[in-house]
Structure 1
């Protein structure tokens, strides 16, 4: 196990007694999505005690203001009420008399945030992420905690924390508690051992999943960790799987993960691989983010944004590795991997924002919700574009070292050199690792591809190096291209997206314009998209539309649609060098080896 931070604990608790903080929650009447929380803090000689609820939770980089679920807050010592006041949106200040004993706070928590994976209580279960349920005090943040649940008789409780009873757990400190969610309720439970480590899989909700197959493939997945890292950072790990009525997503934790999917989105091969890719993503996070993470996130500050220009490594590199592990495990076939990689290339090439924003800037701006037209035209994703930059760096390392060093080696060095309990890494640290591994400076590469927009990734060359080719189907009847996306509304088509540099962009169209006619014909008289295909590339079309409830007309000059629907094919007769590169890259033999 990795060592904990003792010096910081002693510093923070210099004026307080060393003792456990006791957390309790009563869930015996869950129908109204409420629970009653009780927290007992050790005695202190301070004049007041600040009790805080986080403003966000790990793995979801948005301010959520989680204190919004708190009602009926009270504070007592020795049975006597204590005076308290709110000093900001997330802090309750309790005024303490001299020689005060233990302080117990009570409050009701309202839990209806299933899709945010923060807190959810109903008559079938409770999912409790401590960041959204259990308050903390800085004085005891680094001291041991106990957690007890009072639940209906037929409920079963699970967590990555150490179990002390059927419905009770212990943790070294609040940071372990906040990174070890609890799933309690009516559920299905499976357990297995792999590589000397214990695993549990808990399913909540009915759906079209095959539990036995899922557990078998998860067992294959968790055996692949040593294909990248030199050791595992845990002895026990819990997969929590929610089959929901619509909520979807996943969140990584120190010793567990929660994965949510709509209940009937497990069975098809595509859906199942999507689920397993998510499970693999969260598994990779056990190292990349939980065992080591960027400097701006160490330690987590739960009261405000935690900034870093390296979220693209935290999330994008995780996205890059997720399907590599599934390939290595034999859960995903090479052609299935190629299909997903090709789709990512298509999305990248169709995104004007790749020429505008770098992955470093996207990382720093991650706390700002990029949405709509701006997300498409002016920004990139720390996930998708972060994954592609990770691939580009991996390829560059393999090329520079004749296959001796890969991006896997970089992440193993980050794991060995940076313990997230103590210190985070900076861009300069990554550059130092690159230099140590290769003997060369990577500063210019970093400036060109990380700090500047990676506008033109050489996909064809990278694939050819590994004995693959990027193929676009030839279309005997090329389509015309507008560059807009639209949805049907009463009386016309409302634009929802206009790509920068496209014909629609150059003509001056924008989202929310409602197109009602073209060349004198109403769009309701036929299928508008199909009608535009009757023109030739280069033709001009007069488009009538409403903007701000006023009628306007613009001229749209059509262009031939750019190539899309890429596919990746193995070359029939790869060279020995191509086969070697493929193996170095994906750790499996070339399909035509």
Structure 2
């Protein structure tokens, strides 16, 4: 399978695409455009951005083309062994899951506009991009040659975005043999020394915790806008991040660190430690699952925690971050009717919209609080001998590395194995029901010398208690240092 992509008129924001389908042995074939994209569990109907489409032979003769569904077409091949699909896609949106082209930038999420042929989704794909001569490109796909990329199958193509421009900035670093690339597009002058130091620290901490990294390279692809924005999406061996405004202030840098650490941990948690309902992806419809509180909640919890463990945040900065998602949960949805499993399932319905009052909870914010309750409980009953780290490593070794997918009950079983006891109270109170979290959360926070208070007007405050024994446990929780190599210890000293 092959894609040829040109942009004859950048101001129109139109991609001209030719999808070549070889080795056809059927009287008709069906081609499918995805209705959603990995990392965003909602139907997005990308077909609405297709302006024009036709099927042709390699000699240019038009073939009958019929629409079967809103994003599926049937081609009558008339005995042809190779068919070309010619069409135009409008690419004019800049967020972490969209596509955009103009004179200065090509930003492509292939899942927005690339199709696959029914029955042949596992075949290799190549993509030829007719970029301006001075453009450099950032992408996790394998490079075949000048502006030509290769994907093992459509799933890989759909999960590797691309950013290309003449002003793309790039730096890199290596941790335990893994090559990391940081790409920046926007009107800013990055403090590369600081960025490389901090990114190396949290990457090192994550890999040391999980004991290995799934790939041999990884790309942080950043589009920095002049307007306020915050959006990141995880991908196979990269993340696409859109941030703004480009004022180069501490707020922007804090956002960059937070979303980057979060998205990197997704490389294990959901890209490979994936709910079984998402294996393989069915791009034609909703893929319902109940465990997004694991995929997003645990990742939200770990994103900031790794920044503390790596020494990028101090205790005060980390506690401020905890207070942020406590406030977002308790001030917005603490009395919502749905449980975490129900809100995970209903992401496909309205999970990314505000929705009606007191209906759903955030799998990110409540999910992170539930993860923290579990982590602190495991630490409390084992005196820090076991923790949520052990749960994630077991999920990786049993389900992520063999890539077989886990169920809700698989997660229950692994957690209880680590705990060495039944945790029915936790499942019923924190995961499977809409029972408020305040009491259990404060019970666990007290173990590490913290206390959350909610005022009569609903404001949330996280306070540090003056408790020497609790401080020792807090240090164990927040200052855990993984085993570093001699080279890594030297790097830390130099940093």
Instruction: Please confirm whether the aligned pair reaches a TM-score higher than 0.5, indicating the same fold.
Output: yes
Q: 1:569 aligns with which of 461, 464, 468?
A: 464
Gap runs ≥5 in structure 1: 1-20, 473-559
Query: Is residue 297–residue 306 contact of structure 1 (8 Å, CA) maintained in 2?
Result: yes
Q: In the alignment, which residue of structure 1 is the partner of 2:488?
A: none
Query: 2:112 and 2:133 mapped to 1: Cα distance?
Result: 25
- Could you tell me how far 1:76 is from its partner in structure 2? 2.1
Query: What is the SS of the residue equivalent to 2:350?
Result: coil
Query: Is residue 290–residue 420 contact of structure 1 (8 Å, CA) maintained in 2?
Result: no
- Report which of the two structures shows the higher radius of gyration computed on alpha carbons: 1
- Count the aligned residue pairs: 478
- Could you tell me how far 1:465 is from its partner in structure 2? 0.8
Query: Residues 164 and 28 from structure 1, CA distance in 2 versus in 1: closer, same or farther, beyond 3 angstroms?
Result: farther
Alignment of 1:63-462 (within 5 A): 63-79=43-59, 80-98=61-79, 100-115=80-95, 117-186=97-166, 187-207=168-188, 209-246=190-227, 247-264=229-246, 266-268=248-250, 270-369=251-350, 374-419=355-400, 422-457=403-438, 458-462=440-444
Query: 1:280 and 1:308 mapped to 2: Cα distance?
Result: 24
Query: What is the SS of the residue equivalent to 1:296?
Result: helix
Alignment of 1:475-486 (within 5 A): none
Query: What is the SS of the residue equivalent to 2:297?
Result: helix
Query: Is residue 274–residue 403 contact of structure 2 (8 Å, CA) maintained in 1?
Result: no
Query: 2:14 and 2:458 mapped to 1: Cα distance?
Result: 53
- Could you tell me how far 1:362 is from its partner in structure 2? 0.8
Query: Is residue 42–residue 101 contact of structure 1 (8 Å, CA) maintained in 2?
Result: yes
Q: 1:587 aligns with which of 474, 480, 483?
A: 480
Per-residue deviation, residues 157-198 of structure 1 (Å, max 9, x unmatched) = 121011122311112111111111111122112222222111
Per-residue deviation, residues 111-145 of structure 1 (Å, max 9, x unmatched) = 01212522111111111111102111132211111
Query: Is residue 398–residue 406 contact of structure 1 (8 Å, CA) maintained in 2?
Result: yes
Query: 1:369 and 1:398 mapped to 2: Cα distance?
Result: 35
Query: Residues 227 and 357 from structure 1, CA distance in 2 versus in 1: closer, same or farther, beyond 3 angstroms?
Result: farther
Query: Is residue 96–residue 242 contact of structure 2 (8 Å, CA) maintained in 1?
Result: no
Query: Residues 372 and 259 from structure 1, CA distance in 2 versus in 1: closer, same or farther, beyond 3 angstroms?
Result: closer
Quote the RMSD (CA, aligned, Å): 2.4
Query: Is residue 187–residue 224 contact of structure 2 (8 Å, CA) maintained in 1?
Result: yes
Query: Residues 259 and 371 from structure 1, CA distance in 2 versus in 1: closer, same or farther, beyond 3 angstroms?
Result: closer
Query: 2:453 and 2:339 mapped to 1: Cα distance?
Result: 27
Query: 1:451 and 1:118 mapped to 2: Cα distance?
Result: 34
Query: Residues 267 and 402 from structure 1, CA distance in 2 versus in 1: closer, same or farther, beyond 3 angstroms?
Result: same
Q: In the alignment, which residue of structure 2 is the partner of 1:494?
A: none
Query: Is residue 144–residue 173 contact of structure 1 (8 Å, CA) maintained in 2?
Result: yes
Query: Residues 420 and 310 from structure 1, CA distance in 2 versus in 1: closer, same or farther, beyond 3 angstroms?
Result: farther
The structure showing larger relative contact order (alpha-carbon pairs under 8 Å, at least 6 residues apart) is 2
Alignment of 1:532-551 (within 5 A): none
TM-score (norm 1): 0.76
Q: In the alignment, which residue of structure 1 is the partner of 2:28?
A: 48
Query: 1:163 and 1:570 mapped to 2: Cα distance?
Result: 54
Gap runs ≥5 in structure 2: 483-495
Query: Residues 331 and 581 from structure 1, CA distance in 2 versus in 1: closer, same or farther, beyond 3 angstroms?
Result: closer
